[in-house]
Each structure stands twice: as structure tokens, then as C-alpha cells.
């Protein structure tokens, strides 16, 4: 079994898609082991997106992520990391995400793309420790 860190980004909360997205997660069979509505601090957002620092979209991304409440969650299940990324669809909701996925069905914008999911076991460990330090395994 695996754990993954998922965010329902501020656009997903503002557009009232929290129930829809959690419903898709539950229908897939993933377990929710942590779930909280919160406003991300600059510190947590900066650490979460450290790999994108210096890119042209970075300042806007941090402003967006910290600008209004999001839902942070930890999901657990067999191949949870890949399973959630399949539910989410590709980063660009129009060019990459297929219909049937969260982004493919609900999104238009490459930046405000509704959800985040960890992309590897290493990222999941790092991100769970960042968002839910009380759940971190090491
Ligand atoms: P996430 O890490 O949120 O799951 P991802 O792994 O699909 O997304 P990354 O390439 O890691 O995609 O980009 C992280 C986030 O940065 C994207 O989800 C999006 O919010 C934002 N982003 C990425 N590329 C762009 C872009 N070209 N313009 C605006 N925002 C972008």
C-alpha cells in the first residue's frame, strides 16, 4: 500500500468541487487518511513548489496557492500515487487531461488546474511531511 499527498487547489474549493473530487477519490477505492481545509502559508507553498522556483509562472502559482483556502489530504491504497494521478489527468486540462479525468472534465487553465497529487514515492514522503508532519513516517 502507498500514500500520496493530494491538494484540492483554491480554484477547486472556490468553484465548489470539493465534494465532486472527494467522491471520485472514494469511488476509485482510495482511503482518505487525513483531510483538512486550510490556507497555505508562503513557507509551505514555497517548499511544496521549490522545484519550480525561478520559472515564469512561479510567482503567480504561489499567489494562487496561498490566496484562498485549499483542501489538503493524504490518500492511501494500492498504487495510490499513480491511481490519483490517473484520476487527476495531465497538468494542462485542455492539451493533456483526457475527458473523464478531474482536470479533463472540470478545468480549462494550466495553472488553476484543480488538484495536485504527488508524482513519486519520494515526493509523497516529502510532501506528506510538509503538509501533515504528524503523519510523517521518518
Ligand atoms: P501538480 O504538481 O500540481 O500535481 P503537475 O505535477 O501536473 O502538477 P507540474 O509540472 O509539477 O505539474 O507543475 C506544478 C503546477 O504548477 C501545476 O499543477 C500548475 O498549477 C502550475 N503550472 C505548471 N505549468 C504551468 C504553466 N505553464 N503555467 C501556469 N502554471 C503552471
User: 115-117 and 2-8: which strand pairing?
Assistant: antiparallel
Which residue puts its alpha carbon closest to atom 1 of ligand 1?
A: 116
The fold of 2-135 is Alpha-Beta Plaits (3.30.70)
Instruction: Report whether residue 119 contacts ligand 1, using a CB cutoff of 6 Å.
Output: yes
The string of pLDDT tens digits covering residues 44-65 is 999 999 999 999 999 999 999 9
Query: Which ligand 1 atom lies nearest to the CA of residue 112?
Result: 20
- For the chain, give every domain's residue range: 2-135
d(CA 80, CA 104): 20
Instruction: Report whether residue 111 contacts ligand 1, using a CB cutoff of 6 Å.
Output: yes
Which residue puts its alpha carbon closest to atom 30 of ligand 1?
A: 111
The pTM of the full predicted model, rounded to 2 decimals, is 0.96
Residue 48 known to be catalytic? no
What ipTM goes with this model?
0.90
For residue 14, CA distances in Å to 23, 69, 84, 116, 133 come to 17, 8, 21, 15, 26
Amino acid at each position: 500500500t502507498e500514500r500520496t499527498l493530494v491538494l484540492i487547489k483554491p480554484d477547486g474549493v472556490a468553484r465548489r468541487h470539493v465534494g465532486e473530487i472527494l467522491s471520485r477519490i472514494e469511488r476509485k477505492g482510495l482511503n482518505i487518511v487525513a483531510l483538512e481545509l486550510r490556507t497555505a502559508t508562503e513557507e509551505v507553498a514555497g517548499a511544496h513548489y521549490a522545484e519550480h522556483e525561478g520559472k515564469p509562472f512561479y510567482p503567480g502559482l504561489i499567489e494562487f496557492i496561498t490566496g484562498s483556502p485549499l483542501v489538503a489530504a493524504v490518500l492511501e491504497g494500492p498504487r495510490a500515487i499513480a491511481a490519483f494521478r490517473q484520476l487527476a489527468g495531465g497538468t494542462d486540462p485542455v492539451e493533456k487531461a483526457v475527458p473523464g479525468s478531474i482536470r479533463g472534465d472540470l478545468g480549462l487553465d494550466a495553472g488553476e488546474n484543480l488538484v495536485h497529487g504527488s508524482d513519486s514515492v519520494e515526493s509523497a514522503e516529502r510532501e506528506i511531511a510538509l503538509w501533515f508532519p504528524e503523519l510523517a513516517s521518518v
